[in-house]
Chain A
Amino acid sequence: MKIIVCIKQVPDPEHAKMDAESGTVVREGVELMVNPFDLYAVEEGLRLKEKIGGEVIAISMGPPQAEGALREVIGMGVDQAALLTSRDFAGADTWATSYTLAKACQKIGNYDVIICGKQAIDGDTAQVGPGVAAQLGIPQITFVRKIDEISEKNIKAERLVEGGYEVISSPLPLLITVVKEINEPRLPTLKGRLNAKKAEIANWGPEDIGADKDKIGINGSPTKVDEIFTPDLSKDGKIFNIEQLDEAAEEIVKKQKEMGLI
């Protein structure tokens, strides 16, 4: 079974703190990490390989430093990795990103399962996984929390939706996106770390994956960022202690009435 996992390198939110005075989020230094949801995707890929056999290939689109993210997942046990990197890919929105990743999947070819994290924690869009499935014309099951059954031909999985779970079955190949509940990602082993250090990571540009230059990066992106601003998040809240509970309750009830909650 050939399993492709798509991962993204994102800024580490641990290095962001709220500035009490301005109420804006400030970042201290720059630390990058593998998008947390993608670690669940990698882990699930490794588990499928252990169960059915085959190989796990990780791909990522990003600047050269995103290679670090791929080395990290090689440390977990991923067999091969490719970095989609070129100035022409930069500034891609979710459409252009989906297109680029789909082109890379086509280059790899003969995949059975493509796994993505449910969303990346920087953009929070959850659009790239289904976008890749759409570009490839394969079925999708998003927000998967559990794979009930899988064989070389079929899959049955549970997706986490509002108020419950949906059980969906599908033939392979398909794309799934996974939520945190699906597993507990393993830590890299010592041997894995050594492998990661010396592993060759392919670097693919637009020509390597046969991408149409008009459909990649900032130029190929249908959406354009018009403006970015930092909202003031601090509030001038009222603080009460336990002796002032009556006042606090009054304040809450007043608000509930205002909002039509009672």
Chain B
Amino acid sequence: MGIRIIKDKCTGCGICFNVCQYGAINMTEETHVLSNGKEVKRLAIIDLEKCTLCGECVKPCPTNAIELKAETHKFEGKENYKDVMVFAEQRRGELEEAALELVGKGRELADKLNVALYALLLGKDLKGKPEKLISYGADKVIVVADDSLFNFLPEPYTNILIDMIKKYKPSIFLAPSTTQGRALLSRAAGKIYTGLTADCTGLDVDANGNLLQTRPAFGGSIKARILTPNMRPQMATVRPKVFKPLEEDTNRKGEIIEEKVSGELLKSTTKFEKWIKDTTSAISIEDADIIISGGRGLGCSDNFKILFKLAEVLGGAVGASRPTVDEGWIPYSHQVGQTGKTVGPKMYIAVGISGAIQHLEGMRSSDFIIAINKDPDAPIFKVADVGIVGDLFEVVPLLKEKLKRAING
């Protein structure tokens, strides 16, 4: 185990020094000879007091002079884990769009591996939902229905999930990276000692059946490919809206398996008291295809109305930058960015937002970004597909009218 610099490969170029986020690499003046006989004057040294073994320096090294080694665990019976299973999230009795997205992606992975695709559905009164999951690509739907499962509670959901994993032995288990999916899989992976990768935006499999999990880190400034080489199942949460569901095919055939679970598994220490709907917005920013976000440029709380009107025309939700939330212009549930929510809608319209790195990290993965700002040098324009330089109080109402006309034909 550990990290080391292979001295006769290190040319002293300093790339690793610039990459390290923890200041754990120092460049020293030390003349040494490379394996090709060339003499160089500088050498990288790793400060083990600071290094976290994050591995970020390994790949950028042009001469492969950094070696990071880890021992790997053996996992008995790995070959018995074969299929793909996805968690079909429902909230208050409604199947989530993210469940259909996962069934679609799961179908693709299962086909590549030539195995079956299971969907695991927990809840109360699930009539029609298993059929829907089949028509979107599932081969088998495991249904666990009980009145107590109407709302998500971490303990019973985790108990059942682990029980089903033991019984059906999937090699891959996916859930959406929603508040529910993250809470559930973290708890489950913690209990069964397996790998879990958060908020994946890319998934594929290799010839050995390894799940190749790509995820953004440091707010999207880097991407990492993660493997769970030995433990099973390979668990991942998947960012909603990244993968598209397949076309619905009501002629698809599949099997519905109704599982009965013991009362012991249904026990919960925590109790669900009640649900309070956020009434400040018709659609939540996590669920919206279009988000219109406001920044300090709006000037005051009242001016968010301009954005709510535009949101109404476009059928979108309203987001906000951190300063506007800190000023109390709009509730925290609307905040996009590093200390708020990470969103990836199809269209993101940033109004009066300059584009601090913390904000960009929360919205950069949106498919299409529109920025409206009076400062032509605002960093937000660097990530925008369409930028409009101008006073937002002039631009937004005019744009709204033009879009309204275009939308209505």
Interface of A toward B, CB cutoff 8 Å: 11, 13-14, 16-18, 20, 23-27, 30, 32, 36-37, 62-65, 87, 90-91, 93-95, 98, 121-135, 138-143, 145, 156, 158-171, 174, 179-181, 214-215, 217-231, 233-235, 237-242, 245-246, 248-253, 255-256, 259, 261-262
Contacts and interface: CB of A to CB of B under 8 A. Distances in A.
Contact of B284 (A140, A163, A174): A163
B198 A93 contact: no
B229 interface: yes
Contacts of B182: 125-127, 130, 142
A238 B23 contact: no
Contact of B22 (A32, A36, A87): A32
A37 B2 CA distance: 30
Contact of A261 (B58, B268, B272, B289): B289
A226 B227 contact: yes
Contacts of B24: 63
Interface stretch (B130-138, B257-265, B364-372): B364-372
B270 A169 contact: yes
Contact of A62 (B52, B195, B276): B52
Size range of the chain B interface in the assembly: 35 or more
Contact of A222 (B180, B231, B269): B231
29 contacts: A13-B361, A14-B357, A32-B22, A36-B338, A87-B48, A94-B186, A95-B196, A123-B198, A124-B218, A130-B187, A134-B187, A160-B179, A160-B333, A168-B270, A169-B270, A169-B273, A180-B332, A215-B193, A222-B193, A222-B231, A223-B196, A226-B227, A229-B225, A230-B221, A231-B223, A248-B399, A253-B407, A255-B368, A261-B347
Nearest to A125: B198
A30 B47 CA distance: 14
A226 B234 CA distance: 14
State the main secondary structure of chain A at its contact with B: mixed
Contacts, number: 359
B386 A251 contact: yes
Contact of B226 (A90, A162, A218, A224): A224
Nearest to B188: A134
Given A123-B217, A168-B273, A262 B199 contact: no
State the main secondary structure of chain B at its contact with A: mixed
Interface of B: 1-2, 18, 20-24, 48-56, 58-59, 68, 70-73, 91, 151, 154-155, 158, 178-180, 182-183, 185-191, 193-199, 212, 216-231, 268-278, 283-284, 286-287, 289-290, 314-315, 331-333, 335, 338-340, 342, 346-347, 357-358, 360-361, 364, 367-371, 376, 379, 381-391, 394-395, 398-399, 402-403, 406-407
B230 A134 contact: no
B402 A30 contact: no
A230 to B, nearest CB: 5
A229 B222 contact: yes
Given A87-B48, A251-B386, A259 B367 contact: yes
B395 A261 contact: no
Contacts of A23: 382
A223 B284 contact: no
Contacts of B270: 139-141, 168-170, 174
B287 A219 contact: no
A135 B339 CA distance: 27
The residue among A134, A143, A219 with the most chain B CB atoms within 10 A of its own CB is A134
A11 B219 contact: no
Nearest to A239: B387
